[in-house]
Amino acid sequence: MKNIYILLSLIFIGSTSFAQNYELGLLHNGGYNFSIIAVPDFDSAGNTDISDIGFTLMLPAGADDVTGQISALAGRIWNVSEFDAAFLTGEGLGDGTRDAFQFNMPAGQSLVAHTNGQQIDLVSFDVSNMPTTGVMSFLLNSDPIAMGAGGVLDSFYNSNIDNTSTLDYFSGIAPGLDSFMFDTLSSIELENPSFGITIYPNPASEIVHIETAATVEHIELFNIGGELVMTKANANQLNIHELASGVYFMKITSNKMVSTKKLVVDR
């Protein structure tokens, strides 16, 4: 019996030690421009062969659209298909409040070397019609809409990382990079170009300093989902040691002017 437990332990250790996966994440580049990244949980020994990738973004139902997608992988063209709320509800999927945009990069080849936790740029795009309310988010594979669609709207990351076979190495959505609230654009994307300001270091892990000739009156820090996570008045620095790693937006008010800076917290 003891030998059986030892054997099972070795199998478990072997299956977990060599897990190699990629998470997907949504980054806000400013305005209505966004990027999708892949985040590996391992160091590659060299170039990895990316075959095809897919995912679905959900936007508020209506006229908002995905336009101008630009692949970050040379020579690879992404296809985007819209399944609006009316179509989804007609198929018995969803509650009529969200449109689905399915991104797919057809099978081909891109060779990418990377390190654990590196953000690999996949594609960037714009959202048209400048929405100021609602949320854009990944459709999870466990969502009833994805399950009801029979896998058509699933996320996947097919790669041949060991030069033997192509497998799906998608493991989920990167924490903190799953959604974006358009409400934040109406409240914090108001930067005055004459308001010179610098934040450093960036990325940061402990203290963020704000350098400006003006007097900083108020600081607000929002996470990628648009939630206010920290606020401080009359200060030129912010202690972020308790924040999780991820992308944040710092709204700085001074002399009735507002500047918004993207801050990356990296542990």
Query: Do 163 and 195 belong to one domain?
Result: no
Same-domain status, 123 and 154:
yes
Domain interval for residue 203: 190-265
How far is CA 35 from its chain centroid? 7
Enter the pTM of the model.
0.68
Checking if the pLDDT of 140 tops 90, the result is: yes
Residues 36 and 89 in one domain: yes
Structure tokens that stand for 144 in this block: 């009833």
Average pLDDT of the chain is 86
Q: In this structure, are 89 and 195 located in the same domain?
A: no
Please say which residue of 147, 182, 217 terminates a domain. 182
| Percent of the chain whose pLDDT exceeds 90 | 57
Same domain, 51 and 88: yes
Average pLDDT over residues 231-241: 93
Residues 114 and 209 in one domain: no
Q: What CATH code is carried by the domain that includes residue 204?
A: 2.60.40.3080
Kindly report the backbone phi and psi dihedral angles of residue 3, in degrees, each rounded to the nearest multiple of 5, phi listed first.
-65, -35
Distance, CA of 100 to CA of 82 (rounded, Å): 6
Same-domain status, 249 and 202:
yes
Residue-level pLDDT at 195:
55
- Rounded to an integer, the average pLDDT of 127-152 is 92
pLDDT score at 3: 47
Query: How many domains does the chain fold into?
Result: 2
pLDDT of residue 113 exceeding 60, the answer is yes
165-211 per-position pLDDT tens digit:
999 999 999 988 999 988 777 544 444 444 578 899 989 999 999 99
Whether residue 162 sits in one domain with residue 62: yes
DSSP per residue, the chain: -HHHHHHHHHHHHHHHHT---EEEEEEEEETTEEEEEEEESS--SS-EEEEEEEEEEEEESSS--EEEEEESSTT---EEEEE-HHHHHHTT-S-SSEEEEEEEE-S--EEE---TT--EEEEEEEETT---SSEEEEPPTTSHHHHHTTTTT--EEEEESSSS--EE-EEEEPTT-SEEETHHHHHH--B-TT---EEESSSBSSEEEEE-SSPP-EEEEEETTS-EEEEEES-SEEE-TTSPSEEEEEEEEETTEEEEEEEEE--
Same domain for 30 and 158: yes
Q: Based on the domain organization, do 165 and 202 belong to the same domain?
A: no
